[in-house]
Amino acid sequence: MRRLLLLPLLSILSGCHGASLATQWKLRDFSIASADLTQLRIAARGPEWMTITPEKAAIETTIRAGANEREIGAAVLHLQTAAHPSDKLELARFGGGAPTAIELDAQSLAAARELQHEARRLKAEGVRVRGNLHLDGSFACRRDRALPPGAIPTEIYVHVNDELGWLPLYADFDARLDETNPEKLEQSIPRCPEAHKPG
């Protein structure tokens, strides 16, 4: 589950392998290096017992350059629930319950832009640049006392810019397949705080 949020970002960085052919075609000219990060958003929808908690997750980002992969920048990027007026209506066309839209918070957006600018500058000089992403915290919590058995179907959508709008990346992705260790899975989807309240 910890990798779940990174899937769409990794898909974009690697040419959207795993996404539908229609989505891959629409994103054929998209580059994270030149993207307007204020428009980059992800939306996720899990099973009924799950609550998406972007504020409890952070993405550790490291940019390395050159043959020796020298570190040229790093940042811990924090997330927040996005509240763009058009998102709810656009995402409704995919059916099902409303997904949670997620974006970088203002401080993280500024830090990500700095990394983006430096990576773009080095690429212009012909230097090979590579980025690493690692997710900390929990991207979702469970309202049930115990983690329900069976598949954990999760849908992921991406919004790279206003022109393309929201695009589907993963339909019915089983988050349980992402973590086969039951104890680690329990830790990555902890009980929601309200589940501990009496009454």
- What are the Cα distances from residue 40, in Å, to 3, 63, 147? 18, 19, 31
**How confident is the model over 65-122, as pLDDT tens digits?**
888 888 888 999 999 999 898 999 999 988 888 899 999 999 999 999 998 898 888 8
Task: Give the mean pLDDT of 8-14.
Answer: 50
What pLDDT does 78 receive? 92
How do the residues of the chain divide into helix, strand and coil, expressed in percent and rounded to 5? 30, 30, 40
Q: Does residue 54 carry a pLDDT above 80? A: yes
Residue type, 154: T
CA atoms of 54 and 19, how far apart (whole Å) = 22
CA atoms of 137 and 2, how far apart (whole Å) = 8
Across 31-44, b (16+ Cβ under 10 Å) vs e yields eeeeeebeebbbbb
Predicted structure pTM score: 0.82
Q: Is 96 left (phi over 0), alpha (psi -120 to 50) or beta?
A: left
43 contacts 101 by C-beta, under 8 angstroms: yes
| Mean pLDDT for the chain overall | 82
What pLDDT does 5 receive? 52
Phi and psi at 52, nearest 5°, equal -75, 130
3-class state of residue 8 by DSSP: helix
Task: Give the mean pLDDT of 170-187.
Answer: 77
